[in-house]
C-alpha cells in the first residue's frame, strides 16, 4: 500500500463519519486492486475501479458467489449451507433456475401494477408528518416506505411489520452499538425469520391471496416449482435487500439535496428531471458498500495475479465515482446523463432483482416530498450507521414548514 492510500476498508470505523471518498479516489489511482487485511481471516482483494468491478460481476463461474458467500467474513460450513439457500449466494446453474422462478414476482407488469399502491403508502407517510413541522427523517419517513411495500408484497400482516423491521436491523446492524446485537444475535434473527417465512408460505399455499408469496408458491417454470424451504431464504433476502438499501438511499438522497440547495431548487423547478435525479441519487449515495466473490481458479484482475480461493470485494461507491467513467464523479448533478452507475451491482447474473421496484419507490417518495415539504432542513446531527457493508444513516432530525 502506498502512503496516499493508508486506509482500512474492512474496519467499520472507516465509514462511521462519512464514505471515505478521498481514500477511494487515491486507491483508484494508486492501488486499484488493494490487498486488504482482516482481523480474523486471510485478507482479501479490494477492487475500487469501475471496470474491474464489471469484470468480476459478469462472470459467476470464475468469481463465485456460492463458494464463500457474498460477505467478506468466512463462515463455518454449516452456516454456509444455510446461506447457500439464499439466491444471492448461488452460482449458475442453481442460480439461473431459482432466479427464473422468483423473477416471476418482479416482472415490469407486476411492478407497474404496484405504482398506485406505492403512491398511496407514500402519501400516508408524508400525511403523518406534514403537520408536525419536524421529525426523524429516517425512522418517520425513509424507513417506512420500503418496509410497508415489502411487507405488503410478501403478505405480512400489518401487526407483524415491526417484527420484520427489527429482524432486518439485527441481521445487518451487528457492527453498530445502537442495535446492541452480535453476529450470534444476527443468526438468531435469521432463524426466527426462517420459521416465520415457512409459516407464511404454507398458509398461502393452502389459501392463496393476491400477494407475491401466493404467486411464487403457485409458479412453475420449466417444470420447477419453488419449494417452501427455498421460499424462506428468499423471504430473508427480500426483507433485508428491499429494506435497508432503499431506506438508506432515500435518507442519503435527502441529505444530498439538503447539502446541494441549487440541485434541489433545479429539481423543484423542473419536476421532469426526477428520472435522471433518481439515477443520480443511486450513484451518489450507493447504499451498498460492497459484495464479495471467491475465485474458482487462478486469474489476473487489474494487472494483479490472484489465486483460486482468494476473496475479492467490489466497492460500488468507489466504482460509482470513477473518473474514467463519470469524469466529474464527485459532483452531484440531478440532470446527469448518461449515468451507467453500479448501485444495483456491476451487471451480470446477480444484478438487483428489485431495481425497478426500488426506482419506483424512490421516484414516488421524492415527487411527494419535493411537492409537499420542499424546504426540509437539518435540525440536528446526522447519525450514521457503523457498518462496513451498508452506507447507512440511522437518525436524521429535520424540520420543515407545516402544510
Ligand atoms: C436502492 C435500493 C437498492 C439497492 C442499492 C440494491 C442493490 C443491490 C445490489 C448491489 C445487488 C447485488 C448485485 C450483484 O451482486 O451483482 C442486489 C441484489 C438483489 N437485490 Fe437489490 N438493491 C436495492 C433494492 C432492492 C429491492 C427493493 C429489492 C426487492 C424488493 C431488492 C432485491 C434484490 C435481490 C433479490 C437481489 C439478489 C439478486 C440475485 O442474487 O440474483 N433490492 N441489490
Domain ranges across the chain? 3-399
Mutate-to-test residue for ligand 1 from 96, 245, 343, highest number of ligand atoms within 8 A of CB: 245
Helix (H/G/I), strand (E/B), else coil: 293: strand
pLDDT in tens, 151-187: 888 888 889 998 888 888 787 766 677 765 677 777 8
Cα gap 188→167, rounded to integer Å: 9
CB atoms within 10 A of CB 142: 24
Q: Which residues line ligand 1 (CB under 6 A)?
A: 57, 87-88, 99, 150, 237-238, 241-242, 245-246, 249, 287-288, 291, 343-346, 348, 350-354, 357-358
Alpha carbon of 379 to ligand 1 centroid (Å): 32
Looking at domain 3-399, its CATH class is mainly alpha
Which of 78, 282, 245, 255 shows the shortest CA–CA distance to 171?
Answer: 245
Cα gap 343→317, rounded to integer Å: 7
Alpha carbon of 55 to ligand 1 centroid (Å): 18
For residue 110, how far is the Cα from the chain centroid?
21
Alpha carbon of 218 to ligand 1 centroid (Å): 23
Percent of the chain whose pLDDT exceeds 90: 70
pLDDT in tens, 129-146: 999 999 999 999 999 999
CB atoms within 10 A of CB 247: 26
Grid coordinates standing for 56? 468480476
CB atoms within 10 A of CB 78: 8
Alpha carbon of 201 to ligand 1 centroid (Å): 22
Cα gap 384→186, rounded to integer Å: 20
Closest ligand 1 atom number to CA of residue 349: 41
- The mean pLDDT value of the chain amounts to 92
Percent of the chain whose pLDDT exceeds 70: 97
Is residue 3's pLDDT more than 60? Answer: no
Q: What angle do CA 345, 123, 399 make, to 5 degrees?
A: 85
Report which secondary-structure segment, H or E, holds 117: helix 108-130
pLDDT band at 207 (very low <50, low <70, confident <90, very high): confident
Segment 370-377 mean pLDDT: 98
Alpha carbon of 74 to ligand 1 centroid (Å): 21
CB atoms within 10 A of CB 324: 11
Amino acid at each position: 500500500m502506498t502512503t496516499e492510500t493508508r486506509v482500512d476498508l474492512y474496519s467499520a470505523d472507516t465509514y462511521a463519519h462519512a464514505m471515505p471518498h478521498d481514500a477511494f479516489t487515491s486507491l483508484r489511482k494508486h492501488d486499484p486492486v488493494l490487498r486488504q487485511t482482516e482481523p480474523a481471516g486471510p485478507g482479501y482483494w479490494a477492487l475500487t475501479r469501475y471496470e474491474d468491478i464489471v469484470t468480476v460481476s459478469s462472470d459467476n463461474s470464475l468469481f463465485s458467489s456460492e463458494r464463500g458467500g457474498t460477505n467478506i467474513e468466512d463462515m463455518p460450513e454449516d452456516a454456509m449451507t444455510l446461506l447457500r439457500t439464499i439466491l444471492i449466494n448461488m452460482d449458475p446453474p442453481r442460480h439461473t433456475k431459482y432466479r427464473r422462478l422468483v423473477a416471476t414476482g418482479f416482472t415490469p407488469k407486476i411492478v407497474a401494477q404496484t405504482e398506485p399502491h406505492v403512491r398511496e403508502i407514500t402519501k400516508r407517510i408524508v400525511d403523518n408528518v406534514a403537520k408536525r413541522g419536524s421529525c426523524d427523517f429516517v425512522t418517520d419517513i425513509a424507513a417506512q416506505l420500503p418496509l410497508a411495500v415489502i411487507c405488503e408484497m410478501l403478505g405480512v400482516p400489518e401487526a407483524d411489520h415491526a417484527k420484520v423491521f427489527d429482524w432486518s436491523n439485527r441481521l445487518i446492524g451487528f457492527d453498530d452499538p445502537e442495535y446492541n446485537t452480535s453476529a450470534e444475535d444476527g443468526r438468531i434473527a435469521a432463524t426466527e425469520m426462517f420459521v416465520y417465512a415457512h409459516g407464511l408460505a404454507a398458509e398461502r399455499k393452502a389459501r392463496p391471496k393476491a400477494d407475491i408469496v401466493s404467486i411464487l408458491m403457485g409458479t412453475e417454470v420449466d417444470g420447477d416449482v419453488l419449494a417452501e424451504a427455498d421460499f424462506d431464504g428468499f423471504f430473508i433476502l427480500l426483507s433485508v435487500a428491499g429494506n435497508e438499501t432503499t431506506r438508506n438511499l432515500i435518507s442519503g438522497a435527502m441529505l444530498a439535496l439538503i447539502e446541494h440547495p441549487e440541485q434541489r431548487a433545479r429539481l423543484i423547478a423542473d419536476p421532469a428531471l426526477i428520472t435522471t435525479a433518481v439515477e443520480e441519487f443511486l450513484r451518489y449515495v450507493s447504499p451498498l458498500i460492497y459484495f464479495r466473490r471467491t475465485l474458482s481458479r487462478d486469474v489476473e484482475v487489474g494487472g494483479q495475479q490472484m489465486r483460486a480461493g482468494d476473496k475479492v470485494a467490489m466497492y460500488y461507491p468507489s466504482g460509482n465515482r470513477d473518473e474514467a467513467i463519470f469524469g466529474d464523479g464527485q459532483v452531484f448533478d440531478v440532470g446527469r446523463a448518461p449515468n451507467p452507475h453500479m448501485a444495483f451491482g456491476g451487471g451480470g447474473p446477480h444484478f438487483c432483482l428489485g431495481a425497478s421496484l426500488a426506482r419506483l419507490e424512490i421516484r414516488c417518495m421524492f415527487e411527494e416530498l419535493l411537492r409537499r415539504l420542499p424546504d426540509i432542513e437539518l435540525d440536528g446531527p446526522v447519525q450514521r450507521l457503523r457498518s462496513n457493508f451498508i452506507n447507512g444513516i440511522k437518525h436524521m432530525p429535520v424540520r420543515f414548514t407545516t402544510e
